Structure 1
């Protein structure tokens, strides 16, 4: 398996991976909208390939945390992450996450926020965001809204409400 930055030639296959993985178009459409937004970071839209076939995709985009004092802290959202159903449970998603987190560190980002499975993401170091006094803008259980510091003290002096790009409101 190979993990690389997505190219324009991958867009249709990435749409299909997200549609199949989630059983609907919402996340696939979200990826297309985010690509056109200011939140998009091309180096953090990654595909997993086996041979010439795209079997997985992960996207990290820019978000802000609006702190209680109204200052803003830059962070990343990990969303969505998708693997074709016939390739799930083979470690591809985990490799995409690890590769993406390493790339985010390389690009000097300090933290990542994810809304995801409470037993899956902690394997990669994510902990409930409430431990940093960071809140979700969505009505979700606190144990599925998680944060990860990419560097020591990456969320120091950060607290408040996550502000996602408006494109997330389409999901």
Structure 2
């Protein structure tokens, strides 16, 4: 990652830049709408941005609240989605820096599990695995539904429970 890139929590003045980034980065506006809906619903737990020295937002990542239960007990959990890096800044380690910084901060804040819907080869580098998520009932269950245990792996593989994303995920892709 370039030495001129800084990863920090998003601030109010970053909203328009984050929205523009997600609109530019993905072929459809669904991810930008997801972030907006998560914010409006109050389900964002952590939003980080990667910025140039001049404050230009070149990357962003969102972590949102999830309702996760194991043996009938609530487990502090989040979903990672989405992550975006401006095209001109890709392949410089910015997405990796955003993911690592997010996971470290969430662990410090007591989050036990982080789920993601994504490419196993990519997210596997950060400890996400389908076998960790496979014991959870979810409409997204499958090979691309993965989780990584935080807090030193308090949740072993094979646990059974339920994992519900924030309501905005169910609206993802629905026409407005």
TM-score, structure 1 normalization:
0.87
Of 157-166 and 26-35, more deviation after overlay is shown by: 157-166
SS of 1:36's partner is helix
CA shift for structure 1 position 71: 4.0
CA shift for structure 1 position 124: 0.7
Q: Give yes or no for contact 1:115–1:146 (8 Å, CA) kept in 2.
A: yes
- Residues 67-105 of structure 1: CA distance to partner in whole angstroms, max 9, x if unpaired? 4x5443331100111111221222110000000001101
Of 85-94 and 116-125, more deviation after overlay is shown by: 85-94
Tell whether 2:147 aligns with 1:166.
no
Tell whether 2:20 aligns with 1:16.
yes
Partner of 1:143: 143
**In structure 1, what is the Cα distance between the partners aligned to 2:133 and 2:104?**
23
Larger relative strand fraction: 1
List gaps (5 residues or longer) in structure 2.
Answer: none
**In structure 2, what is the Cα distance between the partners aligned to 1:71 and 1:24?**
37
Q: Give yes or no for contact 2:133–2:145 (8 Å, CA) kept in 1.
A: no
Q: In structure 2, do the counterparts of structure 1 residues 3 and 130 end up closer, same or farther at CA, with 3 Å as the change threshold?
A: closer
**In structure 2, what is the Cα distance between the partners aligned to 1:134 and 1:145?**
10
Q: Give yes or no for contact 2:120–2:128 (8 Å, CA) kept in 1.
A: no
Q: RMSD of the alignment, in Å?
A: 1.9
Q: In structure 2, do the counterparts of structure 1 residues 153 and 78 end up closer, same or farther at CA, with 3 Å as the change threshold?
A: same
Partner of 2:100: 98
SS of 1:89's partner is coil
- Residues 109-141 of structure 1: CA distance to partner in whole angstroms, max 9, x if unpaired? 111000011110010111114565124313x6x
**In structure 2, what is the Cα distance between the partners aligned to 1:147 and 1:102?**
15
**In structure 2, what is the Cα distance between the partners aligned to 1:7 and 1:115?**
26
List gaps (5 residues or longer) in structure 1.
Answer: none
Q: Give yes or no for contact 2:49–2:57 (8 Å, CA) kept in 1.
A: yes
Give the aligned length.
Answer: 166
TM-score, structure 2 normalization:
0.85
